[in-house]
């Protein structure tokens, strides 16, 4: 697992502190998701990878176990560690999603992201409109203000936007709906990392759309919340599929 917001922070060159274990996981994970280590291929031997990453056998094997748990590889005695088919990958794992940021643009995968986000956030905003508390509304308005004052700060805007989506998921009172946060972060990171010329306009429009969504949630109007969410999704779809 990685901390929510880590991918957004990386857009400005600020990375979370890392240890050898997470370093190896990220290096191998990115190579697999980006296609540098193709599906069905066998990873290099322990000795080669230990030298490449400068880690002990214990650290390397723990990293491989973590990647196995995410469905990316399968280690077999006398065979080695083979890259698993995509059908076995855990796409709701925050790291697996984040590694797609470094992969070649894939319209089909982007469409899948948008579909999953709509499927999760539609019910989430409905439930949020019914179950939000005054504290939820206060926090969402605080982060909306952070978005509106971000000017050209991609990190401030992205983190504030992500916080709002996380609070919506929390206020929906359905733990599983919080899985949408990783999907939202990847979509945001992809959008904010491209097309700098039109980014300011996107930031203004996205803030306006979220303001309408929060107004509907605060007023306790589920149908209006879904309508406002539709505008948010349409804007992000337009941006994402034009990359």
- 133-173 per-position pLDDT tens digit: 999 999 999 999 999 999 889 999 999 999 999 999 999 99
pLDDT score of 79: 86
Query: What topology does CATH give the domain 6-88?
Result: Arc Repressor Mutant, subunit A (1.10.10)
Please tell me the chain's helix, strand, coil percentages from 3-state DSSP, rounded to the nearest 5: 70, 5, 25
pLDDT score of 228: 98
Residues of the chain predicted below pLDDT 50: none
- Picking from 209, 210, 149, 159, the residue whose alpha carbon sits closest to that of residue 181 is 159
The domain segmentation of the chain, as residue ranges, is: 6-88, 105-240
Query: What topology does CATH give the domain 105-240?
Result: 1.20.120
For 65, what's the count of Cα atoms within 13 Å in the CB-facing half-sphere? 7
pLDDT score of 12: 80
pLDDT score of 3: 73
pLDDT score of 15: 60
pLDDT score of 78: 83
- Picking from 97, 102, 140, the residue whose alpha carbon sits closest to that of residue 116 is 97
């Amino acid at each position: 697992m990685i901390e929510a917001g880590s991918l957004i922070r990386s857009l400005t060159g600020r990375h979370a502190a890392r240890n050898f274990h997470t370093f190896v996981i990220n290096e191998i994970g990115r190579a697999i998701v980006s296609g540098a280590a193709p599906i069905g291929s066998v990873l290099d031997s322990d000795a080669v990878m230990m030298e490449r990453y400068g880690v002990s056998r214990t650290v390397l094997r723990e990293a491989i176990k973590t990647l196995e748990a995410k469905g990316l590889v399968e280690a077999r005695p006398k065979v080695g560690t083979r890259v698993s088919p995509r059908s076995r990958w855990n796409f709701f794992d925050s790291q697996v999603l984040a590694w797609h940021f470094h992969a070649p643009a894939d319209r089909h995968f982007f469409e899948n992201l948008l579909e999953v986000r709509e499927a999760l956030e539609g019910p989430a905003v409905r439930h949020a409109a019914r179950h939000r508390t005054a504290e939820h509304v206060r926090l969402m308005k605080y982060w909306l203000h952070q978005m509106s004052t971000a000017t050209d700060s991609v990190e401030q805007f992205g983190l504030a936007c992500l916080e709002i989506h996380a609070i919506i998921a929390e206020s929906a009172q359905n733990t599983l709906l919080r899985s949408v946060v990783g999907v939202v972060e990847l979509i945001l990171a992809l959008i904010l990392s491209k097309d700098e010329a039109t980014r300011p306009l996107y930031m203004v429009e996205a803030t306006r759309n979220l303001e309408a969504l929060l107004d509907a949630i605060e007023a306790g109007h589920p149908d209006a919340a879904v309508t406002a969410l539709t505008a948010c999704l349409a804007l992000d779809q337009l941006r994402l599929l034009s990359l």
